Amino acid sequence: MRLVVQGPAITMAHLSHLHGLVGGHAQFMQVGEHAYYLPVPEADYLEAKAFCASQQIDCALVQDTHRLQHMGLCVMDMDSTLISIECIDEIADMMNLKPQVAEITEAAMRGELDFSASLRKRVALLKGLPATALQRVIDERLRFNPGAQAWINTCKQHGIKTMVVSGGFTFFANHVQQTLGLDYAVSNTLEIIDGKLTGQVLGEIVDAQRKADELTKLRDQLGLSAAQTIAIGDGANDLKMMAVAAVGVAYHAKPVVQQQAMYALNVVGLDGVASLLSV
Protein backbone atom coordinates (compact mmCIF):
# COMPACT_ATOMS: atom_id res chain seq x y z
CA MET A 1 0.00 0.00 0.00
CA ARG A 2 1.04 3.60 -0.45
CA LEU A 3 -0.28 6.81 1.02
CA VAL A 4 -0.74 9.42 -1.75
CA VAL A 5 -1.27 13.02 -0.72
CA GLN A 6 -1.69 15.94 -3.11
CA GLY A 7 -2.77 19.55 -3.28
CA PRO A 8 -1.23 23.01 -3.74
CA ALA A 9 -1.38 23.64 0.03
CA ILE A 10 1.07 20.82 0.91
CA THR A 11 4.20 21.84 2.81
CA MET A 12 7.14 19.92 4.24
CA ALA A 13 5.56 20.42 7.67
CA HIS A 14 2.44 18.61 6.46
CA LEU A 15 4.53 15.70 5.18
CA SER A 16 6.47 15.47 8.41
CA HIS A 17 3.28 15.40 10.47
CA LEU A 18 1.73 12.75 8.24
CA HIS A 19 4.86 10.62 8.47
CA GLY A 20 4.52 10.73 12.23
CA LEU A 21 0.89 9.62 12.01
CA VAL A 22 1.39 6.63 9.72
CA GLY A 23 4.99 5.65 10.49
CA GLY A 24 7.10 3.57 8.16
CA HIS A 25 10.83 3.54 7.47
CA ALA A 26 10.70 5.22 4.06
CA GLN A 27 10.29 8.92 3.33
CA PHE A 28 7.75 10.70 1.14
CA MET A 29 8.64 10.70 -2.55
CA GLN A 30 7.43 13.38 -4.96
CA VAL A 31 5.36 12.15 -7.93
CA GLY A 32 3.93 15.44 -9.20
CA GLU A 33 4.18 19.17 -8.70
CA HIS A 34 2.00 18.97 -5.60
CA ALA A 35 1.83 15.20 -5.07
CA TYR A 36 3.76 12.79 -2.84
CA TYR A 37 3.57 9.17 -1.81
CA LEU A 38 4.76 7.12 1.14
CA PRO A 39 4.94 3.30 1.19
CA VAL A 40 2.99 2.19 4.25
CA PRO A 41 1.79 -1.06 5.76
CA GLU A 42 -1.90 -1.82 5.34
CA ALA A 43 -2.91 0.00 8.49
CA ASP A 44 -5.55 2.35 9.80
CA TYR A 45 -4.99 5.82 8.38
CA LEU A 46 -8.10 7.60 9.67
CA GLU A 47 -6.01 10.16 11.57
CA ALA A 48 -4.03 10.98 8.44
CA LYS A 49 -7.24 11.24 6.42
CA ALA A 50 -8.83 13.59 8.96
CA PHE A 51 -5.71 15.73 9.10
CA CYS A 52 -5.55 16.04 5.32
CA ALA A 53 -9.23 16.98 5.13
CA SER A 54 -8.63 19.78 7.63
CA GLN A 55 -5.68 21.07 5.57
CA GLN A 56 -7.31 20.96 2.10
CA ILE A 57 -5.15 18.05 0.99
CA ASP A 58 -6.37 15.04 -0.99
CA CYS A 59 -5.37 11.81 0.69
CA ALA A 60 -5.73 8.18 -0.43
CA LEU A 61 -4.41 4.79 0.60
CA VAL A 62 -3.73 3.24 -2.80
CA GLN A 63 -3.30 -0.45 -3.54
CA ASP A 64 0.02 -1.43 -5.09
CA THR A 65 -1.77 -3.16 -7.97
CA HIS A 66 -3.42 0.12 -8.98
CA ARG A 67 -0.76 1.53 -11.27
CA LEU A 68 -1.02 3.07 -14.71
CA GLN A 69 1.09 0.38 -16.32
CA HIS A 70 -1.52 -2.22 -15.34
CA MET A 71 -4.50 -0.32 -16.79
CA GLY A 72 -6.05 -0.54 -20.26
CA LEU A 73 -9.33 1.42 -20.16
CA CYS A 74 -10.60 4.57 -18.47
CA VAL A 75 -14.31 5.42 -18.64
CA MET A 76 -15.42 8.87 -17.52
CA ASP A 77 -18.58 10.81 -16.89
CA MET A 78 -18.87 14.14 -18.72
CA ASP A 79 -20.94 16.78 -16.93
CA SER A 80 -19.21 18.08 -13.78
CA THR A 81 -16.43 15.51 -14.31
CA LEU A 82 -14.63 16.18 -17.60
CA ILE A 83 -16.39 19.54 -17.98
CA SER A 84 -17.35 22.07 -15.33
CA ILE A 85 -21.04 22.46 -16.22
CA GLU A 86 -24.23 20.41 -16.35
CA CYS A 87 -25.13 20.95 -20.00
CA ILE A 88 -28.86 20.48 -19.56
CA ASP A 89 -28.94 23.21 -16.92
CA GLU A 90 -27.20 25.62 -19.28
CA ILE A 91 -29.56 24.72 -22.14
CA ALA A 92 -32.47 25.40 -19.79
CA ASP A 93 -30.99 28.79 -18.99
CA MET A 94 -31.61 29.74 -22.62
CA MET A 95 -35.33 29.38 -21.82
CA ASN A 96 -35.08 31.04 -18.39
CA LEU A 97 -35.73 27.66 -16.79
CA LYS A 98 -32.34 27.00 -15.18
CA PRO A 99 -33.47 27.07 -11.51
CA GLN A 100 -36.24 24.53 -12.10
CA VAL A 101 -34.09 22.19 -14.19
CA ALA A 102 -30.98 22.56 -12.02
CA GLU A 103 -32.98 21.57 -8.95
CA ILE A 104 -34.02 18.31 -10.63
CA THR A 105 -30.47 17.71 -11.86
CA GLU A 106 -29.01 18.18 -8.40
CA ALA A 107 -31.52 15.79 -6.82
CA ALA A 108 -30.77 13.18 -9.49
CA MET A 109 -27.01 13.50 -8.94
CA ARG A 110 -27.53 13.03 -5.20
CA GLY A 111 -29.38 9.81 -5.97
CA GLU A 112 -32.76 11.10 -4.78
CA LEU A 113 -34.55 10.71 -8.14
CA ASP A 114 -34.65 8.02 -10.81
CA PHE A 115 -32.21 9.27 -13.43
CA SER A 116 -34.11 8.24 -16.56
CA ALA A 117 -37.41 9.69 -15.36
CA SER A 118 -35.75 12.90 -14.21
CA LEU A 119 -33.95 13.29 -17.54
CA ARG A 120 -37.14 12.91 -19.55
CA LYS A 121 -38.83 15.40 -17.25
CA ARG A 122 -36.06 17.94 -17.74
CA VAL A 123 -35.82 17.45 -21.51
CA ALA A 124 -39.59 17.90 -21.86
CA LEU A 125 -39.17 21.42 -20.48
CA LEU A 126 -36.85 22.26 -23.40
CA LYS A 127 -39.50 21.71 -26.10
CA GLY A 128 -39.40 24.42 -28.77
CA LEU A 129 -35.87 25.63 -28.05
CA PRO A 130 -33.89 26.34 -31.25
CA ALA A 131 -31.12 23.79 -31.77
CA THR A 132 -28.69 26.67 -32.24
CA ALA A 133 -28.80 27.10 -28.46
CA LEU A 134 -26.70 23.93 -28.11
CA GLN A 135 -23.78 25.52 -29.94
CA ARG A 136 -24.15 28.63 -27.79
CA VAL A 137 -23.66 26.48 -24.70
CA ILE A 138 -20.40 25.14 -26.16
CA ASP A 139 -19.19 28.56 -27.28
CA GLU A 140 -20.16 30.52 -24.19
CA ARG A 141 -20.20 28.14 -21.23
CA LEU A 142 -18.55 24.76 -21.73
CA ARG A 143 -15.18 24.62 -20.00
CA PHE A 144 -13.02 21.61 -19.24
CA ASN A 145 -12.18 20.86 -15.64
CA PRO A 146 -8.58 21.44 -14.55
CA GLY A 147 -6.24 18.65 -15.55
CA ALA A 148 -8.66 17.02 -18.01
CA GLN A 149 -6.36 17.24 -21.03
CA ALA A 150 -3.30 16.32 -18.96
CA TRP A 151 -5.05 13.18 -17.70
CA ILE A 152 -6.11 12.12 -21.20
CA ASN A 153 -2.56 12.71 -22.43
CA THR A 154 -1.28 10.49 -19.62
CA CYS A 155 -3.69 7.76 -20.67
CA LYS A 156 -2.43 7.96 -24.25
CA GLN A 157 1.17 7.72 -23.08
CA HIS A 158 0.35 4.48 -21.25
CA GLY A 159 -1.78 2.97 -24.01
CA ILE A 160 -4.98 3.33 -21.98
CA LYS A 161 -8.13 3.62 -24.11
CA THR A 162 -10.54 6.38 -23.05
CA MET A 163 -14.32 6.72 -23.24
CA VAL A 164 -16.78 9.36 -22.12
CA VAL A 165 -20.13 7.80 -21.21
CA SER A 166 -22.67 10.43 -20.36
CA GLY A 167 -26.26 10.86 -19.30
CA GLY A 168 -25.92 14.12 -21.21
CA PHE A 169 -26.17 14.63 -24.94
CA THR A 170 -24.30 13.65 -28.09
CA PHE A 171 -23.92 17.25 -29.25
CA PHE A 172 -21.66 17.91 -26.26
CA ALA A 173 -20.14 14.44 -25.82
CA ASN A 174 -18.90 14.45 -29.41
CA HIS A 175 -17.33 17.88 -28.88
CA VAL A 176 -15.62 16.65 -25.72
CA GLN A 177 -14.41 13.50 -27.47
CA GLN A 178 -12.93 15.41 -30.40
CA THR A 179 -11.38 18.19 -28.31
CA LEU A 180 -9.71 15.95 -25.72
CA GLY A 181 -8.91 13.15 -28.18
CA LEU A 182 -10.95 10.43 -26.50
CA ASP A 183 -11.30 7.06 -28.21
CA TYR A 184 -15.03 6.52 -27.63
CA ALA A 185 -18.17 8.46 -26.67
CA VAL A 186 -21.62 7.25 -25.62
CA SER A 187 -24.47 9.58 -24.67
CA ASN A 188 -28.14 10.48 -25.21
CA THR A 189 -29.57 11.97 -28.40
CA LEU A 190 -31.97 14.89 -28.30
CA GLU A 191 -34.69 14.76 -30.93
CA ILE A 192 -34.57 17.81 -33.21
CA ILE A 193 -37.22 18.50 -35.86
CA ASP A 194 -37.30 21.60 -38.05
CA GLY A 195 -34.37 23.05 -36.13
CA LYS A 196 -36.05 22.85 -32.73
CA LEU A 197 -35.90 20.51 -29.75
CA THR A 198 -39.05 18.38 -29.47
CA GLY A 199 -38.65 17.71 -25.75
CA GLN A 200 -37.91 14.03 -26.42
CA VAL A 201 -34.85 11.81 -26.07
CA LEU A 202 -34.26 9.23 -28.79
CA GLY A 203 -33.47 5.62 -27.96
CA GLU A 204 -32.35 4.01 -24.73
CA ILE A 205 -31.42 6.43 -21.95
CA VAL A 206 -27.81 6.33 -20.75
CA ASP A 207 -28.52 5.78 -17.07
CA ALA A 208 -26.44 4.24 -14.27
CA GLN A 209 -26.86 0.65 -15.48
CA ARG A 210 -26.16 1.59 -19.09
CA LYS A 211 -22.92 3.30 -18.01
CA ALA A 212 -21.79 0.13 -16.24
CA ASP A 213 -22.83 -1.98 -19.23
CA GLU A 214 -20.91 0.22 -21.68
CA LEU A 215 -17.77 -0.11 -19.56
CA THR A 216 -17.98 -3.91 -19.39
CA LYS A 217 -18.88 -4.20 -23.07
CA LEU A 218 -15.90 -2.13 -24.22
CA ARG A 219 -13.63 -3.84 -21.70
CA ASP A 220 -14.54 -7.22 -23.19
CA GLN A 221 -14.20 -5.95 -26.78
CA LEU A 222 -10.68 -4.77 -25.97
CA GLY A 223 -9.81 -8.12 -24.38
CA LEU A 224 -9.13 -6.57 -20.99
CA SER A 225 -9.79 -7.88 -17.49
CA ALA A 226 -11.78 -6.05 -14.83
CA ALA A 227 -8.47 -5.36 -13.05
CA GLN A 228 -7.39 -3.15 -15.96
CA THR A 229 -10.26 -0.63 -15.77
CA ILE A 230 -10.73 2.83 -14.28
CA ALA A 231 -13.99 4.77 -13.88
CA ILE A 232 -14.26 8.43 -12.90
CA GLY A 233 -17.47 10.28 -12.00
CA ASP A 234 -19.18 12.69 -9.66
CA GLY A 235 -22.86 11.76 -9.41
CA ALA A 236 -24.98 8.91 -8.10
CA ASN A 237 -25.57 7.67 -11.65
CA ASP A 238 -21.83 6.97 -11.91
CA LEU A 239 -21.73 4.55 -8.97
CA LYS A 240 -22.57 1.40 -10.92
CA MET A 241 -19.83 1.93 -13.49
CA MET A 242 -17.39 2.75 -10.71
CA ALA A 243 -18.37 -0.47 -8.96
CA VAL A 244 -17.53 -2.65 -12.00
CA ALA A 245 -14.15 -0.96 -12.51
CA ALA A 246 -11.03 -1.98 -10.62
CA VAL A 247 -10.35 1.68 -9.80
CA GLY A 248 -13.26 4.01 -9.03
CA VAL A 249 -12.44 7.69 -8.56
CA ALA A 250 -14.93 10.23 -7.23
CA TYR A 251 -14.01 13.61 -8.71
CA HIS A 252 -15.26 16.61 -6.71
CA ALA A 253 -18.27 14.40 -6.20
CA LYS A 254 -21.55 14.33 -4.31
CA PRO A 255 -21.26 12.94 -0.74
CA VAL A 256 -22.96 9.64 -1.62
CA VAL A 257 -20.35 9.06 -4.33
CA GLN A 258 -17.40 9.97 -2.12
CA GLN A 259 -18.63 7.55 0.53
CA GLN A 260 -18.80 4.62 -1.88
CA ALA A 261 -15.88 5.31 -4.22
CA MET A 262 -12.50 3.67 -3.78
CA TYR A 263 -10.67 6.99 -4.11
CA ALA A 264 -11.84 10.61 -3.95
CA LEU A 265 -10.29 13.82 -5.26
CA ASN A 266 -11.74 17.02 -3.82
CA VAL A 267 -8.86 19.49 -4.11
CA VAL A 268 -6.71 18.72 -7.15
CA GLY A 269 -7.72 18.47 -10.81
CA LEU A 270 -8.18 15.40 -12.97
CA ASP A 271 -4.43 15.15 -13.43
CA GLY A 272 -4.47 14.03 -9.81
CA VAL A 273 -5.66 10.63 -11.02
CA ALA A 274 -2.24 10.16 -12.62
CA SER A 275 -0.55 10.89 -9.31
CA LEU A 276 -2.78 8.34 -7.57
CA LEU A 277 -1.79 5.59 -9.99
CA SER A 278 1.68 6.56 -11.19
CA VAL A 279 3.88 5.20 -8.44
DSSP characters over the chain:
-EEEEE-TT--HHHHHHHHHHH--SS--EEEETTEEEEE--S---HHHHHHHHHTT-EEEEE-TT--GGG--EEEE-TBTTTBSS-HHHHHHHTTT-HHHHHHHHHHHHTTSS-HHHHHHHHHHTTTT-BTHHHHHHHHHT--BPTTHHHHHHHHHHTT-EEEEEEEEEHHHHHHHHHHHT-SEEEEEEEEEETTEEEEEEESS---HHHHHHHHHHHHHHTT--GGGEEEEESSGGGHHHHHHSSEEEEES--HHHHHHSSEEESSS-TTHHHHHH--
| 93 noted as active-site residue | no
| 207 noted as active-site residue | no
Given 44, 64, 77, 183, the catalytic residue: 77
Given 44, 58, 79, 207, the catalytic residue: 79
Residues marked as catalytic:
77, 79
